[in-house]
Chains A and B, each alone.
Chain A
Amino acid sequence: MPSLSYTSRRELEEHSFTPAVTLLVPVAAIVLQVLLSKLYWRFSYLDLPLIVAIFFAVSRRSPAAGTLTGAAIGLVQDALTGRPIGVNGMAKSVIGYIAASIGVQVDVDNLTTRVVMNFGFSLLNSLILFLINRRLLGQAEAHLQWLQELIRAVANTVVALPIFLLLDYTKRPE
């Protein structure tokens, strides 16, 4: 008789979202990011679209859906910048895939897990962006400033916790 562990798929809940939430929450995150950055330039260190991409990925627990969600959010984010489109799209595709894969394995509703997850994915996002800039775009002057990225990761984690709690209300259990 097979024993069911705490992290087995059958015990874990898969969540889905209404189309309105799926569409409006990422757009709201991007618009809010833009407005906050205009209000005070240091808010540009935050990455609200990344937080939303992680949330959708771990909630759906589908790596394919996480990849596509991350790619879509990243591409929209890229379109607002002056950089080539696809930089953030690639980074968030990878993060969406990994986040969804982790969501299958661990309890992502736990507060500690959320803290570690957001902190780690924020650093991973910075690392992927650096690699894309340095290797794919050939920007030799690109450097990874670890202190700044650590601060960014901490800030994203702090902001992500209330956002996750807020977005928990939009889940639609299947």
Chain B
Amino acid sequence: MESFFIRFKNVLVLVAVLLAQTIGLAIQVRRPVESGAPDSEHVTLLRHWVVAVVTPFERFFHGIGYNVRYGWSNYIDLRDTRQKNQDLKNEIARLRLEQAQLAEDAMQGHRLQELLKFQQHYVASTIAAQVIGTSGTDQSRVLYIDKGSNDGLKVDQAVITPDGIVGKLREVFPHTAQVLVIDDQSSGAGVLLATTRIRAILHGSQGGRIVITNLTPDERIKPGEQVLTSGGDQVYPRGLAVGTIESIAPDPEHQPYTTIVVKPATNLFQLEEVLVITATQSDLTALAQKDLAQGATTAKQMADAKTAADQEAAEAAAQSASQIVAERLPSIHEAETAPDPNAPAGAAKPTVANPAVTVPKPLPTLHPDRYTPGTTPPASSLTPGAGHPPAASRQPAATSTDDGATPPPAPKKETAKPEASTPNN
């Protein structure tokens, strides 16, 4: 018997090692059942030991790299900083306008949600953490961050960046935490298609892609549509960006479902800093409310300014129209510039609204002649065969006659000078 163990020592060692690991695998796979869930206590202990050994090295090398990058980017590589600062200011101004445009809709939506008693979860607090390591293999897409339970982190808390979601905390150690990235095979999230409002479940694939496989073909779903978190998984708050639909294809293995590939909003391969959502609340945060109020105020100011501008434009247009009318009617124009001294006191002045109230009268003639209105004597006063009186002798009559009621003066001789002439009758 002893010789058997000595002879087959190597094979027996191999069988024993494989058997032990197979039993260990069976225990782990049986408990817990959910994919992506944290391990049981004994497995966590083993991970804890390994992480405790490996993480200090990761922190050390990450610290070196971080300090080198920090020193370079903050003290040496400062080219175009002013231009970037100006660009950022411009972007802030643009975003403020956008915020103002969206603020009223947001407030209205918020009011409607309150009316419907809709339970919304807003991000209340986050903890910034730096990525210090990975799993080292493409078979498991996890990250290690430099914050742990001592910083208030807990299992199943969502990890995000300003661009979108990253994953969730799978294991939390005192000074480190393991993040299960959204493109891992065992990862998953409840999502909502932004345009069509279709709910779906998203998970990672073996090749590191993010896919939705529980939807049947729908013509409304198009590539480029934005995918948001639905909040139904109780991990990610509702409305966070997940990515955009990259392609839609039938799933040959699971008919009639489709495989929708989602391009993540966050670059999951180049993560340096992440935010861990440590708390959510049903109401907007004070800062968000302040921003919202500011946006609403800006929107109101913009609306008032727009109203005033529209009013001014309307007045200017009306004035322009009246000027055109005035130019086309010179008498009205002259009547406005030179009021008629003979007009009665109670007579209505011509206005833009009623330009034809007063009948215009001609001005006195400076050099009257025989054709001047009012100079022609009545036919009863004319003598047959007699010549026409000179125009100059009739000037006083013309000047004193307004409506032709006064008889014209008697004709004078043509030789008589206008200054010395007197009425003939």
Q: List the interface of chain A (C-beta within 8 A of B).
A: 27, 30-31, 33-38, 41, 44-45, 47, 62-64, 67-68, 71, 75-77, 79-90, 93-94, 97, 100-101, 129, 132, 136-139, 141-143, 145
What 0/1 pattern do residues 125 to 137 of B give for CB contact below 8 A with A?
0000001111111
Decide if A84 touches B58 in the complex (CB within 8 Å): no
In Å, the complex CA distance between A68 and B170 comes to: 29
Decide if A47 touches B17 in the complex (CB within 8 Å): no
Q: Which residue of A lies closest to B271 (CB)?
A: A38
Which residues in chain B, 44-78, are within 8 Å of chain A measured between CB atoms? Answer: 46-47, 49-51, 53-54, 57-58, 61-62
B1 to chain A, nearest CB (A): 19
Which chain A residues border B21 with CB–CB below 8 Å?
Answer: 71, 75, 86, 89-90, 93
Which residues in chain B, 4-27, are within 8 Å of chain A measured between CB atoms? Answer: 9-11, 13-14, 17-18, 21-22, 24-26
For B22, B170, B180, B205, the residue with the greatest tally of chain A CB atoms inside 10 Å of its CB is B22
Which chain B residues border A75 with CB–CB below 8 Å?
Answer: 21, 46
Which chain B residues border A132 with CB–CB below 8 Å?
Answer: 25
Flag whether B214 is at the interface (Cβ < 8 A).
no
Decide if B135 touches A67 in the complex (CB within 8 Å): no
B201 to chain A, nearest CB (A): 15
A-B contact pairs, 30 of them (CB 8 A): A33-B136, A34-B58, A34-B133, A34-B134, A35-B133, A38-B131, A41-B270, A44-B134, A44-B135, A44-B136, A45-B138, A79-B50, A80-B50, A80-B135, A82-B36, A82-B180, A82-B186, A83-B139, A85-B24, A85-B25, A85-B47, A86-B22, A87-B25, A93-B21, A94-B14, A97-B14, A129-B139, A136-B26, A136-B29, A141-B205
Flag whether B140 is at the interface (Cβ < 8 A).
yes
Decide if B46 touches A85 in the complex (CB within 8 Å): yes
Decide if A37 touches B137 in the complex (CB within 8 Å): yes
B339 to chain A, nearest CB (A): 88
Given A41-B269, A64-B10, A141-B205, are A84 and B29 neighbors across the interface (CB < 8 Å)?
A: yes
Q: Which residue of B lies closest to A140 (CB)?
A: B253
A39 to chain B, nearest CB (A): 8
From B10, B18, B24, B136, contact of A94 by CB (8 A)? B18
Decide if A136 touches B25 in the complex (CB within 8 Å): yes
Extra contacts, 8 of them, besides A33-B137, A77-B136 (Cβ < 8 A), are A35-B61, A62-B10, A64-B10, A77-B137, A79-B49, A80-B47, A83-B140, A139-B185
Given A67-B10, A67-B17, A86-B24, are A81 and B140 neighbors across the interface (CB < 8 Å)?
A: yes
Flag whether B86 is at the interface (Cβ < 8 A).
no
Decide if B51 touches A64 in the complex (CB within 8 Å): no
In Å, the complex CA distance between A136 and B28 comes to: 11
Which chain B residues border A143 with CB–CB below 8 Å?
Answer: 206
From B13, B36, B53, contact of A64 by CB (8 A)? B13
List the 3 shortest-distance A-B pairs measured between CB atoms, nearest first: A81-B140, A79-B50, A63-B10
B264 to chain A, nearest CB (A): 13
Q: List the interface of chain B (C-beta within 8 A of A).
A: 9-11, 13-14, 17-18, 21-22, 24-26, 28-29, 36, 43, 46-47, 49-51, 53-54, 57-58, 61-62, 131-142, 170-171, 178, 180, 184-186, 205-207, 269-270
A167 to chain B, nearest CB (A): 19
Q: Which residue of B lies closest to A89 (CB)?
A: B21
Q: Which residue of B lies closest to A63 (CB)?
A: B10
In Å, the complex CA distance between A138 and B28 comes to: 13
Decide if B17 touches A71 in the complex (CB within 8 Å): yes
B197 to chain A, nearest CB (A): 28
Decide if A44 touches B54 in the complex (CB within 8 Å): no
Given A64-B10, A90-B22, are A82 and B133 neighbors across the interface (CB < 8 Å)?
A: no
Which chain A residues border B17 with CB–CB below 8 Å?
Answer: 67-68, 71, 89, 93
Which chain B residues border A63 with CB–CB below 8 Å?
Answer: 10-11, 13-14
In Å, the complex CA distance between A37 and B143 comes to: 10
A101 to chain B, nearest CB (A): 8
Decide if A84 touches B28 in the complex (CB within 8 Å): yes
A68 to chain B, nearest CB (A): 7
From A44, A67, A82, A142, contact of B178 by CB (8 A)? A82
Which chain A residues border B185 with CB–CB below 8 Å?
Answer: 139, 141
Q: Which residue of A lies closest to B42 (CB)?
A: A85
For A35, A36, A94, the residue with the greatest tally of chain B CB atoms inside 10 Å of its CB is A35
Q: Which residue of B lies closest to A143 (CB)?
A: B206
Q: Which residue of B lies closest to A133 (CB)?
A: B139
For B58, B131, B132, B138, the residue with the greatest tally of chain A CB atoms inside 10 Å of its CB is B138
